[in-house]
Each structure stands twice: as C-alpha cells, then as structure tokens.
Amino acid sequence: MAELRPQNLDFGSNTVTIADGETESVILDTLANVITGIIAPSSFGGASLTLLVGADKDNVDKPLFNPDGTPFTLTIAADQAVIVIPQFVAGWQFIKLVANAAQAGSDADMLVFGRPI
C-alpha cells in the first residue's frame, strides 16, 4: 500500500515513487503548484498513468476524468516523458499517480515537474 504521508510538489522537479508490487504512488501535495510534466524511469513497468485526486490527504481516491467523461490518461512508458496540460490538474491539491500495471522487481521513481499556479 502506498505511503499516506503526502509528498510536497516543489517548483522544478520532484521524485514520486510507485513502490515494487504497487500501482499507486505516494500522495503528492501540490500546494500552490501544478503538475506540468512527468518522466518515467527505465524501471517503470507500465504503459500509461491515470490520476487519483482528493479534497484532502486522507481521501485521495477519486479517478480524474476529462471534460468529455473519458478517464484522464497519460500514455507513458519506461524512459519516456509526457506533458501534463496544467488546466486539467490545477484544481487538485492531492494527487496520486496510478500505473496501468503493478511495478515488478523494483520501485519506479517518477520525476514529476511542477510550476506555480
């Protein structure tokens, strides 16, 4: 199970871990920042990410959807980078990254980039 203590998103880059055997990252507290991009390490075993969001750090369990009702999905594999359109995630302070497959063999330290809102 992912750690419950939120990790703060600072301006610049931040490491957010998806632990071995898990699909969900630790909670990311974006504070007054917004996610703008993600880089997956070579150890990342997934092919995409979705996001869980919440109004507080104890309830980060709501899947994020696009305005058209489809799941907010980022296509990303090992050693790839993806842009996150800030308007889609700016309203959420507490976020978890969710891989489409469990990590196998090692943690995946995702590099998450943020900037002030």
Which tens digit of pLDDT belongs to each residue from 31-43?
A: 888 999 999 999 9
Q: Domains of the chain: which residue ranges?
A: 7-116
Tokens 């296509």 -> residue: 75
Task: Count CB neighbours of 108 within 10 A.
Answer: 23
Which tens digit of pLDDT belongs to each residue from 49-92?
A: 999 999 899 999 999 999 999 999 999 999 999 999 998 899 89
β-strand pairing of 108-116 with 62-63 = unpaired
Question: Which of 32, 53, 54 has the alpha carbon at shortest distance from 114?
Answer: 32
Q: Write out the CATH class of domain 7-116.
A: mainly beta
- Mean pLDDT value of segment 6-18: 77
Is the pLDDT at 11 greater than 90? The verdict is no
Beta-carbon contacts of 48 under 8 Å, excluding residues fewer than 6 positions away, are 73, 74, 75, 76, 99, 100
- Residues 27 and 7: their CA atoms lie apart, in Å, by 6
Q: What helix, strand, coil percent values describe the chain, rounded to 5?
A: 5, 45, 50
Let me know: does 53 contact 29? Beta carbons within 8 Å. no
